[in-house]
A and B are shown apart, each in its own frame.
Chain A
């Protein structure tokens, strides 16, 4: 950090933002800090919304029912049924819907005013979700095809036999190892980078408008620019939150579809 900025009181966000101190049960394995409490709150809110939104449904829907139906229908039609077909789409619908709503809720807390940090910005939650998606597509392959799932995935047909020595380790690496890693890192780093940028722009606006201007330094006028940029970037951050949830569930559906495809 440059010496001039530190001396005059500008504190940019650091990686320590993602590791706040414990609030409950400190020192035990069940230690809850702020981010864990946010995740628990999001799960409670999601369960409540989905339960209350699907109770007492009428044939001619009211306003609340239209919104819930629209979102659930979007996940079912455009993600599950479109990639997997009718039968398999309905069978794998619960896991795909979980992989849509859970990252969506957790990502969106990053833009809510007093919460400010996404539940998926520490590695635990993206890692667990990626491992579940990994188990799902391996299970789907074994359930539908048995051991020919491994034959299809690792020994691609139509290739001269000596190339298998090169191709099979690469395929194994790319299918069974790289996929969960990229799923985790894509979700995690989108949220980490977004949070650091937003916190930096807000801290810069605070510093320019409330520390530099009152002390007479005319550089504080740049604060107007950073505020405008902050508003634009907040809109972009909401878009990234939605997009990452959509991509996570869509990729889970596509990996399942690749596993259960009969022929190449």
Chain B
């Protein structure tokens, strides 16, 4: 039985695990902090968005690596 596919997709799937855990942690901590001090909600929300963008950056770099045409060692 032949299974043909694109190996980069597995790599990106693994990279998405770390990104998912990281973003969940940032948002969870923000919700906890807002529950402790509701008056800081605006400031903490801005910091949360900044944190999400920084964590997801690595996830998107993983997608970008998938588009690079690496030379194959055994021929095209």
Q: Which residues of A contact B (CB under 8 A)?
A: 15, 78, 182, 185-186, 188-190, 192-193, 243-244, 246-247, 250-251
Contact = CB atoms under 8 A, between A and B. Distances in A.
B70 interface: no
Given A15-B67, A186-B56, A247 B61 contact: no
Nearest to B57: A186
A189 B61 contact: yes
Given A182-B57, A189-B64, A244-B53, 12 more contacts: A15-B67, A185-B61, A186-B53, A186-B56, A186-B57, A188-B64, A190-B56, A192-B63, A243-B49, A247-B49, A251-B50, A251-B53
8 contacts: A78-B46, A185-B61, A189-B64, A190-B56, A190-B60, A192-B63, A243-B52, A251-B53
A78 B56 CA distance: 22
Contact of B63 (A78, A193, A244, A250): A193
Contacts of B46: 78, 250
Sorting the interface of chain B by its residue count into under 10, 10 to 19, 20 to 34 or 35 or more gives 10 to 19
A145 B27 CA distance: 36
A185 B53 contact: no
A196 to B, nearest CB: 10
Helix, strand, loop or mixed for chain B's interface?
helix
Contacts of B53: 186, 243-244, 247, 251
Q: Is the interface of A mostly helix, strand, loop or mixed?
A: helix
A26 B67 CA distance: 26
B49 A189 contact: no
5 shortest A-B CB distances, which residue pairs? Answer: A189-B60, A247-B53, A186-B57, A182-B57, A185-B61
B60 A250 contact: no
Nearest to B62: A189
Contacts of B52: 243
B12 to A, nearest CB: 10
Contact of B64 (A185, A244, A246, A251): A185
A247 B60 contact: no
Most buried by B among A189, A190, A243, A244: A189
B55 to A, nearest CB: 10
Contacts of A188: 60, 64
Nearest to B58: A182
A192 B52 CA distance: 18
A180 B6 CA distance: 29
B57 to A, nearest CB: 4
